[in-house]
Structure 1
Amino acid sequence: MTPDLLPLSHAVAALCRQAGQFIRQQVTDFDASKIESKGLHDMVSYVDKESEKMLVAGLQQLLPTAGFVTEEGTVANTEASQTEYRWIIDPLDGTTNFIHGLPCFAVSVALARGNEPVLGVVYEVSRDECFRAAQGHGAFLNEQPIRVSTADKMDNTLIATGLPFYKFTHLDAYLRILTEFMQNSRGLRRWGSAATDLAYVACGRFDSYFEFNINSYDVAAGVLLVREAGGRVTQWLADGDPVFNREALATNGLVHDEMQAVLKQHWGEGFQW
């Protein structure tokens, strides 16, 4: 059964707002003693887990045949070969920001057919901003249409990225890339939420975003937002799958080749994770 993506996107946005309301309430009530560690500098809280449970329960009702890819594992993850559609969920993207009281964190939900996102919602909790897209129907911020920026040279761009926080291999190459982008743009920003970074590319606040060693639940919804807003999203060095291949370059399309050339120069061909 093929879901009707446009009304489904509205229903998913409502679920994300509900989860966001719960997260917003926890900002003042948060119990830091319940923080858990998933690995080096990689934290999770009961807020992440409860938000994910809420989303899973709601999404199961909306599309019972779909599988799941979730960050916190509150439901069994599904392989693409097992089902036509999968929900890809980050219940609290920007956990470190949330724990430290910084105001950038988001709920991110995508629906993928195979590995291709066909629906995406990013709800940035602090600003009460809901970004929504359904394949073929455009992208919206609080129900107003959005488009990527019109900057046509890297010199005129503001670039978003994420910084390594637990895996530091290839750091020298990454620092060379940062150096070149810093010297040839209006600046770099590290917001701390990949989902928000991509949503901001979609609405033109950022002109581009790049990051490596990322997960599907970090970027799946944002990838569709950028594409539906007129932008381009690929892997760093080629036009491969940016959702499941652990790296993404998202731009307004106009500066994509220029940025990709920098990545190819310093990252090198044939890099393997």
Structure 2
Amino acid sequence: MSTLNTAVQAAKEAGKLIRQKAAVAKQVQYKSSAQDLVTEVDQASEAMIRKQLLSQYPEHVILGEEGVEPGAKASKEALEEHRGCEHLWIVDPIDGTTNFVHGFPMFCVSIAYAYNQEVVAGVIYDPLRDELFTAEKGKGAFLNGKEIRISNEKTLEESLLATGFPAGDKEARQRNLEGILKLSPLCRNIRAGGSAALHLAYVAAGRLTGFWELDLNAWDLAAGSLLVLEAGGDVTDTAGHGYDLVVRHISASNGHIHPFLLNALKEAQATGFENMVK
């Protein structure tokens, strides 16, 4: 079984569990802050994914959100520990946990496979809408088996953008708000759905023109970044450097508006690099 098919199977199995539990009362635990929630379903979902991946590739290494202590420092350290892995899976068992806890229907499973630190396969599965986004390096991006492409907007004025609100770092949240204040009068509108992975998938599918957010983790971004690139878009950090697994401040778009998006964030001092660590 290929890595992509293995990821699809794992995502769908986890998605089935998530869908079943979505309407059920959940035992909620707190991670690094009141905004960063984790549930028993997160943990059960990741356990299912790990079992499926390792059954096919027992020699591979898995970097999953639930296996990392809360906070940006621990996330960076965990990624650094895995920098030498030839075969690395990057897993977010529920991206949008806070949405899941509150019954807000925007959350997903995100699974990426990186070979020598380059993401070459990615899956994002929305279990409520039964939407399966897939991509392999050099082979395009797909939604439920049909090829998807980025949107055609050429200017910010035409664009629908999305962002989020960083959960743990107050400085990152303030910087992101500065970006919203700068961009909101320049674009058609801005959305904040609470799932970075789905935002990236929506950029790939042409539903959003662009997305940016600060202080995210590899498991939030890996699969979705490949989707955008394979759909013809552009993915960098907010300073314009190319995407890799260490990027935490993300900017993704249809490519046409990318320089305008980056320039606006720079003018607003909202790239996340002002007095912050990458």
TM-score by length of 1: 0.91
The residue correspondences of 1:58-137 to structure 2 (distance < 5 A) are 58-73=52-67, 79-137=81-139
SS state of the match for residue 148, structure 1? coil
Contact 1:242–1:248 (Cα < 8 Å) also in 2: no
1:262 partner SS: helix
Residue 33 of structure 2 is matched in structure 1 by 40
- Alignment partners' CA distance in 1, 2:173 and 2:133: 32
Partner of 2:207: 205
TM-score, scaled to structure 2: 0.89
Q: Please list every run of 5 or more consecutive structure 2 residues that lacks an aligned counterpart in the other structure.
A: 69-77
Q: Is the 8 A contact 1:132 1:139 kept in 2?
A: yes
Letter in 1 for 2:14: A
* Cα deviation, residue 170, structure 1: 5.2
CA displacement, residues 60-103 of structure 1 (integer Å, 9 cap, x when unaligned): 122222211110018xx673344202100000011111111111
1:160/1:209 contact within 8 Å kept: yes
Contact kept, 8 Å, 2:108 with 2:124, in 1: the verdict is yes
Whole-angstrom CA distance in 2 between matches of 1:147 and 1:256: 16
Q: Is 1:9 the equivalent of 2:4?
A: yes
> What is the CA–CA distance in structure 1 between the aligned matches of 2:40 and 2:175, rounded to whole Å?
36
Please report how far the alpha carbon of residue 265 of structure 1 lies from its aligned counterpart in structure 2 after TM superposition: 1.6
Secondary structure of residue in 1 paired with 2:154: coil
For residues 48 and 137 of structure 1, do their structure 2 counterparts lie closer, same or farther at Cα, with a shift above 3 Å needed? same
Measured in 2, the distance between the counterparts of 1:135 and 1:185 equals 31
Q: What are the superposed Cα offsets for residues 31-55 of structure 1, whole Å, 9 maximum, x if unpaired?
A: 3xx2111121211111000000000
How large is the Cα RMSD of the aligned pairs?
1.8
Alignment partner of 2:268 out of 258, 266, 269: 266
Indicate yes or no: 2:55 matched with 1:55.
no
CA-CA distance at 1:242 after TM superposition: 5.0
CA distance in 2, matches of 1:97, 1:118: 28
Aligned-pair CA distance for 1:243: 3.4
